[in-house]
């Protein structure tokens, strides 16, 4: 990422950071093409011209136009990159899941739109084609505050077993 701007750390900073459409657009370009080599999603050509007023590229190879959203989870979405980048930041940064209602409230969009956004983002995060957190060599990964919860059926069974163990221990001591 460019050193011109500091990456957001808090939700308030993320909303402020991505509220500028140009900054959100540049950030998304750096995420999509980290090596700064923009290529056409249709033919792969690197020969193109950029139409700044419309934020689209014109490919000199296949003579078609393409945007940043083509071939990504953002495709076919009328929402701007400012909303998408804030939603991605929220879903990646929060240790607990975020409901579509909370996402809608923060972004100022409908719950239905936020539900579709969150599903697209979560699906993209589950794909194996993404770069692994530890890098390609699968090096060590540090995790902060892991949270493991048993399913409701498991916790009921475990509670029942613990109760039975407690009863049997009390009988052995002669208390029951």
Confidence (pLDDT) at 140: 60
**Alpha-helical regions (H) of 33-110:** 81-93, 100-107
The whole-number pLDDT of residue 34 equals: 86
Angle, CA 117 vertex, CA 124 and CA 112 arms, to 5°: 145
Q: Which two tokens stand for residue 34?
A: 């980290």
- Local confidence pLDDT in tens for the 176 residues of the chain: 444 556 788 888 888 888 888 888 888 888 888 888 898 988 988 999 998 888 899 999 999 999 988 888 888 999 988 899 899 888 888 878 889 999 999 999 999 999 999 999 988 888 755 554 445 555 565 556 555 555 555 555 555 554 455 444 444 555 54
Ordered by start, the domain boundaries in the chain are: 11-126
Reported pTM: 0.64
């Amino acid at each position: 990422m460019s050193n011109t701007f500091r990456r957001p750390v808090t939700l308030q900073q993320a909303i402020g950071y991505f509220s500028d459409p140009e900054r959100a657009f540049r950030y998304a370009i750096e995420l999509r093409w980290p090596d700064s080599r923009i290529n056409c999603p249709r033919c792969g050509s690197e020969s193109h011209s950029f139409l700044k007023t419309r934020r689209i590229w014109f490919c000199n190879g296949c003579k078609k136009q393409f945007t940043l959203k083509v071939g990504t989870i953002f495709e076919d979405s009328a929402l701007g990159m400012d909303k998408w980048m804030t939603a991605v930041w929220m879903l990646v940064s929060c240790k607990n899941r975020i409901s579509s209602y909370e996402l809608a409230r923060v972004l100022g969009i409908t719950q239905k739109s936020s539900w579709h956004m969150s599903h697209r983002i979560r699906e993209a995060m589950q794909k194996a084609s993404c770069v692994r957190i530890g890098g390609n060599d699968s090096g060590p990964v540090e995790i902060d505050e892991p949270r493991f919860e048993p399913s409701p059926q498991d916790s009921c069974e475990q509670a029942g077993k613990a109760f039975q163990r407690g009863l049997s221990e009390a009988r052995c001591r002669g208390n029951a």
